[in-house]
Structure 1
Amino acid sequence: MTRDSRPTELWQMSATDLAAGIAAREFSSREATESALARLDAVNDSINAVVEIMRDQALDAADAADAAVAAGKTLGVLHGVPTTIKMNVDWQGMPRNNGIIETKDNVATNGNSPVTDNMLRAGAVILGQTNCPAFAARAMTSNELYGVTLNPWNPKVTPGGSSGGAASAVAAGIGAVAHGNDLGGSVRQPAHCCGIVGLRCTPSRIPNYNPSVALDRPGLHQTTTSQGPLARSIADAVLGYEAMSQRDYRDPWWVPPLPAALEAPFPCKVALFYTDDDIEPAVKDALDTAARFLEDAGCVVEEAAPPRYDEAWRLHQSLLQAEREGATLKNIARYGDDAVRNKFRAFENWDVITPIESRDAYIAAVAMRSTILREWMAFFETYPLLLMPNMYTQSMVLEMDQLGTETVRDHVQKLKPHQVTALLALPGLSVPTGTTNGLPDGVQLVASRMQDPFLFRAGAAIEARAGILTPIDPRGAT
């Protein structure tokens, strides 16, 4: 593509095209970054997605990227490409407050997190930090420090959380790739709500660590938390994944990719799974659409249920609550804003959460997690790809988790498809399928551990038929 024939503004271009154009000197990283910053200036006030803007640092990084091109240096996969990074990972010298008023003046002083380092080594130009809820502990994105992030499709529905700022920014054209992270749906749910692609990678494929955190998280949190890319297309999500997933010794659980010979084949047998409990027609229609697209790509789709689905969800709730009883809930009670406190009050005395009150009970629960995962791994031997909802509703109203205990509990149960797969440390990919009534539809693809590239191949088959829904203009959205 030449400068004269380019049909779009630079901010509208894919990360793939931007990286190629910068490397070929068709345009500069400076031009791409200035275009992205102009887009940010035009639309960010409408959505409040990027809450710390690093304008000078981004332009300096763009100039350095252009100098590297001119010098003939080896270029990373995101070289010169404008991106964003979530507020809850360390970036040396930049704010590190996690959306909490009491820590509003904190900055990262002990170095970058591995994912930040990996993005910078890949040549990414980071425009700024995206919003998340306090403690990144809600499936909505607002806090008392930065305020509420809106969905660029419709300000009355949530952009999701906790990576809602990342998803909203990418969907509105602020940066070509965004960083997010996912403990129980925090990449996939915002991607779904904003009509973009989001990967929850196999945990520790992308290294986890924050130098600013004095004590590592408890065991389940360590083995279920995942970093991941959000992007407007599968190809751009692949670039983000390649950039973010490089080894870092500071994550002792980091794992290299599978050899290509061990990747699942595609086309393949696909298990279509959902429950009839409260599933909205738009969600069922999206699943049927994705199933048809996969069949057209050569897959055989059959309705099949993975093992112990509801049992796994209850186990997820109980184990997380048991681990939160330590520092997390105490810190939320002391430093959290009203919104995050309100959300966690709804978990008190909830009959779906079996209290884990002893060492032996915790050991048994962790052992059961491995048992269920082994059964799912056997399931994937028959059905390498699981097609399921992201959640049982197309969207959720803004700040739904502030509408009372019963609403919060209903909201959490609608997120079961994200939480079960998180418990089992499986990769999951959110893929758009179209729109209904002015809002995006999508599905979740799940595979066995380490099958992240396979998910991209399956997602590409859906995208080839569904198309790419974003960027969109949030100004005037109602």
Structure 2
Amino acid sequence: MSSSLSVDSTARDQAAAVRRREISARELLDLHLARIAERNPRLNAIVSLDEARAREGAAAADEALASGTQVGPLHGLPFAFKDTHQVAGWRTTWGSPLYADHVPERDELLVERVRAAGAVTIGKTNVPEFAAGSHTFNKVFGTTLNPVDPTRSAGGSSGGAACALAAGMVPLADGSDMGGSLRNPASFCGVVGMRPSLGRVPEWPLYNQWETTSVGGPMARNVGDLALLLSVLAGPDPRAPQALGDPGSAFAAPVAASLSGLRVALSVDLGGALEVDHEVAAVVEQAGASLAAAGARVASAYPDLAPAEDTFRTLRAWHFQAKLGSLLAAHPDAFKPSLADNIRAGESLTGADVARAYTRRTALSETMRSFFGDHDVLVLPVSQVPPFPADQEFPTEINGQPMATYLDWMRSAYFVTVTGCPAISVPFGTTSDGLPVGVQLVAPHGADLRLLEVALAVEELATR
């Protein structure tokens, strides 16, 4: 066993050590299972853990390597899939009592790719009910807590994934993002989470292949590891008609940090469209100052994203009603009230309402295309608040301003959602009491690799 290797080593180093046989997949699994035993009982990040099957998978990984079989880039790495992603033979609950005993018969596409890359499945990561809301709790498994301060939320809906990463229970994690579900928990837990460009990470099966508010994507403890996982998740598939054609291998090479000639638009509140906690705002402003000091051309600028409010809420309600409306009708008492209300909000939508939302979404795409003619990247908050108390469903106020619904405090994330642009959360600072705060970087649609390059540069600035 490599004496310097630990569960806190980078995913790239762990995978390289397995390939060089400095550590076996069995030994690497044992290290992670020990960390899970140490921290998961308190944090509740990993659910449906199956140590016996995980050990079988690690043994098979070692045997494949010994046989001389060509192995994938994630070979031997322990992996827990988000509990909204279907894994054949593994309980997948979507955080709902209605699916508490559900065991899928097939892998979904994202899972196929991770398993084909050699990862060893160990279990699932916790989610809010049907991935609705950016705080991870449900009646099946309970609440996931923040690894930095267990009295606080880990965010969501990929909260279990972000917590498990930050606590060293897994080296990489997958997630999905509609209103911020890869970005908000990354900010709350001090890891990196990326919402890729629409079509970058294809999904299958879906009830509607033309619905494009939610995307799958990667999470990691650093940008280089995230690029490694994106190289596995990305690339076209004939089952996903809107998939971008670039191969995932485009992200496989080491990402090089670059600020040379970078034109940065910095906005703390998108021109007053967002209420942002003062300590979060200070971290975003510090990121802008650090970028300027490093040679980037930083200007105070922002696109007009005000139409995103109605656009996102309309499409979210329409999507939830289409996907979950019949289930709610059959089981009206089996949903948390905030989700039931969101589903019912879709019942009164008309064709004209949905058409208006798509028209505005098209206009928002044009707004961003024009904006990025003058800027390379937009820097703004990931979340408008730092991690809030875990016994709250959502923040009820920011700076004394009331938040009426469980979505209001997430505008900084979901405004970006309906532009279709790639966005990434990179840890950059902390509040006065040590809670993690990330900054959100947004790039033009399709510019995922350039976004990763900028994110690496920002990551390096944050650690100076």
Query: Are positions 1:104 and 2:100 aligned together?
Result: yes
Matched-pair contact (CA < 8 Å) for 1:100–1:336? no
Once residues 320 and 166 of structure 1 are traced to their aligned partners in structure 2, the CA distance between those partners, rounded to angstroms, is 23
Shift of 1:217: 3.5
Matched-pair contact (CA < 8 Å) for 2:235–2:243? no
SS in 2 for 1:53: coil
SS in 1 for 2:124: strand
Change in CA separation of 1:250 and 1:408 when aligned onto 2, cut-off 3 Å = farther
Shift of 1:342: 3.5
Once residues 465 and 402 of structure 1 are traced to their aligned partners in structure 2, the CA distance between those partners, rounded to angstroms, is 31
Which shifted more, 381-390 or 263-272? 263-272
Shift of 1:414: 1.9
Matching residue of 2:253: none
Once residues 344 and 381 of structure 2 are traced to their aligned partners in structure 1, the CA distance between those partners, rounded to angstroms, is 27
Matching residue of 1:269: 263
Equivalent pairs, count: 450
Once residues 363 and 136 of structure 2 are traced to their aligned partners in structure 1, the CA distance between those partners, rounded to angstroms, is 34
If asked which structure has higher relative contact order (CA below 8 Å, sep 6+), I would say 1
Shift of 1:31: 0.9
Once residues 457 and 12 of structure 2 are traced to their aligned partners in structure 1, the CA distance between those partners, rounded to angstroms, is 18
SS in 1 for 2:194: strand
Once residues 129 and 26 of structure 2 are traced to their aligned partners in structure 1, the CA distance between those partners, rounded to angstroms, is 33
Matching residue of 2:434: 438
Shift of 1:399: 4.5
- 1:425 is aligned, of 420, 429, 435, to 420
**Which one-letter code corresponds to 2:98 in the other structure?**
E
Matching residue of 2:2: 3
Change in CA separation of 1:247 and 1:296 when aligned onto 2, cut-off 3 Å = same
The superposition leaves residues 53-85 of structure 1 with CA deviations (integer Å, 9 ceiling, x where unpaired) of 122222222222222322333232211112221
Aligned pairs (5 A) from 1:301-340: 301-307=298-304, 309-332=305-328, 334-335=330-331, 340=336
**Which one-letter code corresponds to 1:274 in the other structure?**
V
Shift of 1:135: 1.1
- Gaps of at least 5 residues in structure 2 are 251-255
Query: Are positions 1:461 and 2:457 aligned together?
Result: yes
Once residues 323 and 124 of structure 1 are traced to their aligned partners in structure 2, the CA distance between those partners, rounded to angstroms, is 32
Which shifted more, 67-76 or 148-157? 67-76
Matching residue of 1:378: 370
- 2:229 is aligned, of 207, 226, 240, to 240
Aligned pairs (5 A) from 1:4-403: 4=3, 6=4, 8=5, 10-109=6-105, 111-210=106-205, 216-217=207-208, 219=210, 222-257=211-246, 266-267=259-260, 268-275=262-269, 276=272, 277-307=274-304, 309-332=305-328, 334-335=330-331, 340-345=336-341, 357-401=349-393
Task: Output the aligned Cα RMSD.
Answer: 2.8
Relative to the length of structure 1, the TM-score reads: 0.87
SS in 2 for 1:165: helix
Once residues 186 and 148 of structure 2 are traced to their aligned partners in structure 1, the CA distance between those partners, rounded to angstroms, is 12
Change in CA separation of 1:274 and 1:368 when aligned onto 2, cut-off 3 Å = same
Once residues 451 and 396 of structure 2 are traced to their aligned partners in structure 1, the CA distance between those partners, rounded to angstroms, is 37
The superposition leaves residues 311-348 of structure 1 with CA deviations (integer Å, 9 ceiling, x where unpaired) of 22222112322343434245346447777324553898
Change in CA separation of 1:117 and 1:327 when aligned onto 2, cut-off 3 Å = closer
Change in CA separation of 1:310 and 1:199 when aligned onto 2, cut-off 3 Å = same
Matched-pair contact (CA < 8 Å) for 2:2–2:17? no
Matched-pair contact (CA < 8 Å) for 2:94–2:127? yes
Once residues 337 and 419 of structure 1 are traced to their aligned partners in structure 2, the CA distance between those partners, rounded to angstroms, is 28
**Which one-letter code corresponds to 2:237 in the other structure?**
D
Matched-pair contact (CA < 8 Å) for 1:203–1:227? no
Matched-pair contact (CA < 8 Å) for 1:100–1:337? no
Change in CA separation of 1:157 and 1:407 when aligned onto 2, cut-off 3 Å = farther
Once residues 347 and 254 of structure 1 are traced to their aligned partners in structure 2, the CA distance between those partners, rounded to angstroms, is 28
SS in 1 for 2:212: helix
Change in CA separation of 1:404 and 1:416 when aligned onto 2, cut-off 3 Å = closer
**Which one-letter code corresponds to 1:365 in the other structure?**
A
Change in CA separation of 1:337 and 1:126 when aligned onto 2, cut-off 3 Å = farther
Matching residue of 1:472: none
Which shifted more, 61-70 or 449-458? 61-70
Matched-pair contact (CA < 8 Å) for 2:2–2:22? yes
The superposition leaves residues 170-191 of structure 1 with CA deviations (integer Å, 9 ceiling, x where unpaired) of 1111110011100110110010
Relative to the length of structure 2, the TM-score reads: 0.89
